[in-house]
Amino acid sequence: MCLSGQVGTEERWEQMQEPPGQGRASRTADGGAGFAARWPEAGAGKRRRMLGWGRYPAWAGLLMVPAAALLGAACTVASHRDPGRLLAIFVVAGTVAAGTSIRARSAYAIIPAPALAYAVAAVAAGLIHDRAIDTSRTALEISGVQWIADGFIAMAAATILAAVLAIARWLLSLHYARASR
């Protein structure tokens, strides 16, 4: 009698067929399935698809937007300007790159990233650019709000662009899935 209380389970277990490629002949000496059994296409001459645009996981896209914002903040500081248009261009470009590079089913994850990345990068670039403001906490808070507000239109545009890219890629993936049936 087995643990589940059913009689004859052991006999049925022995009669079950093993999955294709997992038979006893394809097992290695240690009892596990060999390389060829786990990945039958590895020896069949097929090439694995490399990651490319439209195939990256969501976390890669979520790193692209802050990386673009960091690069924009560095360029803003190097140009000796307040955060604004230059940082906004980098954030929008990073959003487009991230939205088109990740898988279609994960594109929705990019939607909140541009606003958060811009806000952090604007404050960081503003703090580096205007070092004389650190004398007063109130002046620092007002300047931080001003740096973020300068990029409001860019943050909104990048967020809307991320949403449009996510919806368009989702609709295209549905279209291709129906066409392949």
What are the domain boundaries of the chain?
A: 58-171
pLDDT at position 133, please?
A: 61
Largest CA distance in the chain: 83
Contact between 156 and 119 (Cβ < 8 Å): no
The torsion region of residue 21 among left (phi > 0), alpha (psi -120 to 50) and beta comes to left
- As a whole number of angstroms, the distance between CA 12 and CA 15 comes to 5
pTM assigned to the model: 0.66
Considering only CA atoms, give the Rg of the chain: 27
pLDDT in 10s for each residue of the chain, 181 residues: 445 555 555 555 455 555 555 555 544 554 555 545 554 554 444 454 555 667 888 898 899 999 999 999 999 999 988 888 899 999 999 999 998 888 888 888 999 999 999 999 999 998 888 776 666 788 888 888 888 898 899 999 999 999 999 999 888 888 877 777 7
Contact between 181 and 113 (Cβ < 8 Å): no
pLDDT at position 32, please?
A: 53
pLDDT at position 147, please?
A: 87
Q: Hunting for tokens 């279609």 — which residue is that? A: 104
DSSP secondary structure letter of residue 180: T
Indicate the length of the chain as a whole number.
181
Q: What number of CA atoms fall less than 13 Å from residue 96's CA on the CB side?
A: 7
- As a whole number of angstroms, the distance between CA 95 and CA 133 comes to 31
Contact between 60 and 79 (Cβ < 8 Å): no
